[in-house]
Homo-oligomer: A and B are copies of this chain.
Amino acid sequence: MTDPGVAADVPRRGPAANAELALLLEVAGTPKPGNVDRARDLAALRFEHFLAGAVGARPGLERAAAGDPVGEAFEAAVAGMSEQSGGNTQFGCLLLLTPLVRAATDDDRTLSPDGVAAVCEATTVDDAAGFYRAFEHVDVAVADPPEGMDALEVRRGAEAVPALRDRGVTLFEVMRESAAPVDDHGTPGDANAREWVEGFPRAFRAAEAIRADDGPIVDRAARAFLDLLAEAEDTLVRTQHGPEVAREVRERAAGIGSLDEAEAWADELVERGINPGTTADVTAAALFVALERGVSV
């Protein structure tokens, strides 16, 4: 005799759940020099703020998975993320995860660089408006806008939306502007915007490194973070501390051979208030891709 009761569905974790888990695994990886991690808090920004940020972001991520417009889903994710007292925990992560989640759903879960590039390129002026409104929910550290772009300064939040609509600027175009070199020496623009414009090359590459690596996934995430940090200057560090410090951090990361070696440096960066947050964003995106591609926890 078997039981005729209703068996609960046992779905594989969906893209929104994997995105939330990527946020949690990212912050749990340690050491991640300069950032909050399992072993380190900053003064006013603590581990639990990231936990609450990840939980709060999930409904917005579910909207991306359900096919809602990227801008709306992103704004909802940021609004939910902001329901904690630490301030901005995962704005940049969500900027990367929202189109990735949408692409994972669109592509019947065979997430590819082309798939996410198509999602990004298809964004509209409404998506740009959602992105700008997201700045209303939380203070985000950003660079000054390029010349002639004052009206589209992201810190203006919803106030900039009329200018966006007048000029017909899509979210992809906003990202393309932010990704452009910031000076005549070819210094690259915002690293997250470059992912958007280029089909997430660093996130996909780091995801493959995580997949090929051994050991607990949080250790693999910490190693991926260090490799990403050695590969390119961190945008947030450059914004907050200038190009010399950004270069120093990159060069120092390139000389680190193991997580053990990174421990003392992690304490040093926290003490100096140097927070390579953009590299953490790309790490979270890489973790999402790795989870979608079958890496297990």
A6 near B72 with CB under 8 A, answer yes
A51 near B297 with CB under 8 A, answer yes
Interface residues of A in 123-178 (CB under 8 A from B): 126, 129-130, 133, 137, 158, 161-162, 165
- A174 CB to closest chain B CB (Å) equals 15
Q: Which of A20-28, A185-193, A262-270 contacts B (4 or more CB under 8 A)?
A: A20-28
A8 near B130 with CB under 8 A, answer yes
Contacting residues, chain B, for A158 (C-beta < 8 A): 2-3
A75 to B6, CA, bound (A): 10
A3 to B160, CA, bound (A): 9
Is A9 an interface residue when CB atoms closer than 8 A count as contact?
A: yes
Is A49 an interface residue when CB atoms closer than 8 A count as contact?
A: yes
B76 near A8 with CB under 8 A, answer yes
B84 near A297 with CB under 8 A, answer yes
B84 near A46 with CB under 8 A, answer no
Contact of A297 among B48, B58, B133, B218 (CB under 8 A): B48
A60 to B39, CA, bound (A): 31
A55 near B6 with CB under 8 A, answer no
Using an 8 Å CB-CB cutoff, how does the interface string of A100-115 with B read, 1 for contact, 0 for none? 0000000000000000
Do A25 and B9 contact each other (CB < 8 Å), given the known contacts A56-B17, A158-B3? no
Q: Which residue of B lies closest to A46 (CB)?
A: B216
Is A85 an interface residue when CB atoms closer than 8 A count as contact?
A: yes
Contacting residues, chain B, for A217 (C-beta < 8 A): 48
Q: Which residue of B lies closest to A77 (CB)?
A: B8
A162 near B24 with CB under 8 A, answer no
B55 near A133 with CB under 8 A, answer no
Contacting residues, chain B, for A17 (C-beta < 8 A): 55-56, 58-59
Interface residues of A in 39-53 (CB under 8 A from B): 39, 46-49, 51-52
A8 near B133 with CB under 8 A, answer yes
Do A3 and B51 contact each other (CB < 8 Å), given the known contacts A38-B38, A137-B10? no
Do A126 and B5 contact each other (CB < 8 Å), given the known contacts A13-B83, A83-B13, A216-B46? yes
A28 near B10 with CB under 8 A, answer no
Is A258 an interface residue when CB atoms closer than 8 A count as contact?
A: no
17 new A-B contacts at CB < 8 Å, known A3-B133, A51-B297: A2-B158, A3-B129, A3-B158, A3-B161, A5-B126, A6-B72, A8-B76, A8-B133, A10-B76, A11-B80, A13-B80, A17-B55, A20-B55, A28-B47, A48-B216, A48-B218, A85-B297
